[in-house]
Amino acid sequence: MSDRFLVSGGARLSGEVAVGGAKNSVLKLMAAALLAEGTTVLTNAPEIADVPLMADVLRGLGAVVDMDGETVTITAPAEPKFHADFAAVRQFRASVCVLGPLMARCHRAVVALPGGDAIGSRPLDMHQAGLRALGATSSIEHGCVVAEADTLVGAPIALEFPSVGATENILMAAVLAEGQTTIDNAAREPEIVDLCVMLQQMGAQIDGAGTSTLTVVGVDRLHPTTHRVIGDRIVGATWGIAAAMTRGDVTVRGVKPEHLQLVLNKLGDTGAVVDNFDDGFRVRHDRRPTAVNVSTLPFPGFPTDLQPMAIGLAAISDGMSVITENVFEARFRFVEEMVRLGADARTDGHHAVIRGIDRLSSAPVWCSDIRAGAGLVLAGLVADGVTEVHDVEHIDRGYPHFVEILRSLGGEIERVRD
């Protein structure tokens, strides 16, 4: 039996919320700590379920990991183990990011194919192709990625798609390779920049962070560091979209608005008043949102992680919206749950067409992944009656203190432990 949320509709969200560190950054930074023998300290780490899961993966590789609130301390051994087994990595996708550091330190890695959210296939082809370009052999054997190299040697690498995970793994393998590596069509997400900043603090030579071309000159060794995790733009945007959906007034602190500029512009197009600050933004809405179209794309495009929230917003907007998913093909599973809540929505391939209605109707719904879960809760806030959201452990993996924050903003939500 899993926990569920009881969400009462009708509340207008208002107030201020502080956003912690980014889930999509901290897990990769924890893996990067393996690159240097000694103790690395991460601050502003989010208190989410995936952090202790990653800690278990690192412990299985010989690291010592301590967690104290928003501080994670990782002591990497002189000789890490190179086998990340299925028991450790099966629960979440980000565990595969140990592949690059293990190849850099050990020149071999056996990493079980990871589990994670049900949002579509996320093959490791580009990860393996990048390692092969650096001189490694790589194959899938008995449910594991198996890679090995006598020596990693820098090389030009062009990605077919700006994959965040492939960029991260290739980058972390290249920082200790011989010579120069260029990664063309690299991911440009703020979380990639955050990883580059930490690696540079550790002594890596990297140019081009935040652009589509990364240039890495390998060094002999890296040293531990202390690094502050960037704010979680996806969590911050979730609260901003919630403000627009509930005709509320929410100020978000702890995230850079330039990391969300397209999202904030879209909220403005719905009729919201959006104010940007150095460390956050404010979203105010006092009427029914106007429908807008959204297409998900890699950064600086509209994040695929916010697609469920965009559909929730469209479901109660004035007019028709077309939501196009260009990253993960199975993310539209969320639409089936929205239809349970009365949404007038249909999907066709990569597109969802939503005709907004005045108000959704409560129903039992099920989370299939982190962001779908958050989107269903937001939908419950604008539905009549009490919506039961099941399998909420997904939400715990990406949103710290979710219930407490929603209550602080005036939302009516209760966690029920079955």
Q: Which residues are catalytic?
A: 117
CA pair distance 270, 72, nearest whole angstrom: 39
Residue 403 marked ligand-binding: no
Helices marked H in 223-367: 233-245, 261-269, 307-315, 333-340
Residue 327 marked ligand-binding: yes
CA pair distance 321, 270, nearest whole angstrom: 11
Residue 68 marked ligand-binding: no
Residue 23 marked ligand-binding: yes
Tokens found for residue 133: 């370009």
CA pair distance 205, 275, nearest whole angstrom: 37
| End-to-end C-alpha distance for the chain, whole angstroms | 6
CA pair distance 317, 285, nearest whole angstrom: 12
User: CA separation (Å) from 374 to 13, 15, 61, 74, 187?
Assistant: 15, 19, 32, 30, 25
Amino acid letter, 233: R
Please give the helix or strand (H or E) that residue 99 lies within, else none: helix 99-106
CA pair distance 9, 318, nearest whole angstrom: 19
Q: What is the greatest pairwise CA distance in the chain?
A: 63
What DSSP line would sit under 8-33, residue for residue?
ETTPPPEEEEE--B-HHHHHHHHHHG
Give the residue from 84, 123, 125, 87 showing the smallest Cα distance to 103: 84
**Which residue ranges are tagged as binding site for phosphoenolpyruvate?**
23-24
Q: Which residues are annotated as a binding site for UDP-N-acetyl-alpha-D-glucosamine?
A: 93, 305, 327
